[in-house]
Amino acid sequence: MRQPAAAGGAAVAVLLALSFCHMLNDMMQSLLAAIYPMLKADYGLDFGQIGLLTLTFQLTASLLQPWVGFYTDRKPQPFSLVLGMGSTFAGLLLLATASSYGLLLAGAAVVGIGSSVFHPESSRVARMASGGRFGLAQSVFQLGGYSGTALGPLLAALIVVPNGQGSVAWFCAAALIAAVVLWRVGDWYQVARANAAKKPAAAVESLVLPKRKVLLTLGLLAMLVFSKNVYMASLSSYYTFYLMETFHVSVRASQVYLFVFLGAVAVGTLIGGPVGDRFGRKMVIWCSILGVLPFTLMLPYANLFWTPILSVVIGLILASAFPAIIVYGQELVPGRVGTVAGLFFGFSFGMGGLGAAILGQVADVHGIRFVYYLCSFLPAIGLLTVFLPNIEKPKLEARRKARAAATAGAEAGAE
Dist. CA 191–CA 189, nearest whole Å: 5
* pLDDT: which is higher, 60 or 78: 60
Dist. CA 349–CA 108, nearest whole Å: 13
pLDDT of residue 170: 92
pLDDT of residue 360: 83
> In the predicted model, is pLDDT for residue 123 greater than 60?
yes
Cβ-contact 189, 25 below 8 angstroms: no
- Round the average pLDDT of the chain to a whole number and report it: 81
pLDDT of residue 105: 92
* pLDDT: which is higher, 41 or 196: 41
133 phi and psi angles, rounded to 5 deg: -95, 75
State the CB neighbour count (10 A cutoff) for residue 204.
7
Specify the amino acid at residue 339.
Answer: T
> In the predicted model, is pLDDT for residue 410 greater than 60?
no
How would residue 247 be classed by pLDDT, with cut points 50, 70 and 90? very high
Specify the amino acid at residue 289.
Answer: I
Dist. CA 195–CA 11, nearest whole Å: 14
Specify the amino acid at residue 219.
Answer: G
The total number of residues written for the chain in this structure: 415
How would residue 295 be classed by pLDDT, with cut points 50, 70 and 90? very high
pLDDT of residue 396: 54
> In the predicted model, is pLDDT for residue 53 greater than 80?
yes
* pLDDT: which is higher, 368 or 51: 368
Could you give the maximum distance between any two Cα atoms of the chain, in Å? 78
Cβ-contact 61, 112 below 8 angstroms: yes
How would residue 8 be classed by pLDDT, with cut points 50, 70 and 90? very low
* pLDDT: which is higher, 138 or 311: 311
Percentage above 90 pLDDT, the chain: 19
Dist. CA 21–CA 139, nearest whole Å: 14
Dist. CA 183–CA 309, nearest whole Å: 40
pLDDT of residue 335: 74
How would residue 6 be classed by pLDDT, with cut points 50, 70 and 90? very low
> In the predicted model, is pLDDT for residue 404 greater than 70?
no
**Per residue in 143-179, pLDDT tens?**
888 788 778 877 887 888 788 888 888 999 999 999 9
* pLDDT: which is higher, 305 or 128: 305
143 phi and psi angles, rounded to 5 deg: -55, -40
The three-state (H, E, C) secondary structure of the chain, written as one string: CCCCCCCCCCCHHHHHHHHHHHHHHHHHHHHHHHCHHHHHHHHCCCHHHHHHHHHHHHHHHHHCHHHHHHHHHHCCCCCHHHHHHHHHHHHHHHHHHCCCHHHHHHHHHHHHHHHHHHHHHHHHHHHHCCCCCHHHHHHHHHHHHHHHHHHHHHHHHHHHHHHCHHHHHHHHHHHHHHHHHHHHHHHHHHHHHHHHHHCCCCCCCCCCCCHHHHHHHHHHHHHHHHHHHHHHHHHHHHHHHHHHHHHCCCHHHHHHHHHHHHHHHHHHHHHHHHHHHHHCHHHHHHHHHHCCHHHHHHHHHCCCCHHHHHHHHHHHHHHCHHHHHHHHHHHHCCCCHHHHHHHHHHHHHHHHHHHHHHHHHHHHHHCHHHHHHHHCCHHHHHHHHHHCCCCCHHHHHHHHHHHHHHHHHHHHHHC
pLDDT of residue 333: 82
pLDDT of residue 173: 93
Average pLDDT over residues 392-414: 56
pLDDT of residue 147: 81
Spacing of C-alpha 139 from chain mean position: 10
State the CB neighbour count (10 A cutoff) for residue 194.
10
> In the predicted model, is pLDDT for residue 342 greater than 50?
yes
pLDDT of residue 180: 93
pLDDT of residue 64: 78
Non-local (6+) Cβ contacts of 138 within 8 A are 123, 126, 127, 130, 273, 323, 326, 327
Dist. CA 165–CA 96, nearest whole Å: 5
Highest mean pLDDT pick, 277-291, 295-309, 310-324, 360-374 = 295-309
pLDDT of residue 413: 55
**Domains defined for the chain, CATH in brackets:** 12-194+210-403 (1.20.1250.20)
Average pLDDT over residues 4-28: 76
pLDDT of residue 377: 93
Percentage above 70 pLDDT, the chain: 87
State the CB neighbour count (10 A cutoff) for residue 409.
10
How would residue 399 be classed by pLDDT, with cut points 50, 70 and 90? low
How would residue 273 be classed by pLDDT, with cut points 50, 70 and 90? confident
Distances from the Cα of 154 to the Cα of 50, 159, 237, 268, angstroms: 20, 9, 14, 19
> In the predicted model, is pLDDT for residue 2 greater than 50?
no
**Per residue in 78-121, pLDDT tens?**
788 898 899 999 999 998 888 889 999 999 999 988 988 888 88
Non-local (6+) Cβ contacts of 132 within 8 A are 8
Dist. CA 11–CA 167, nearest whole Å: 36
Cβ-contact 48, 169 below 8 angstroms: no
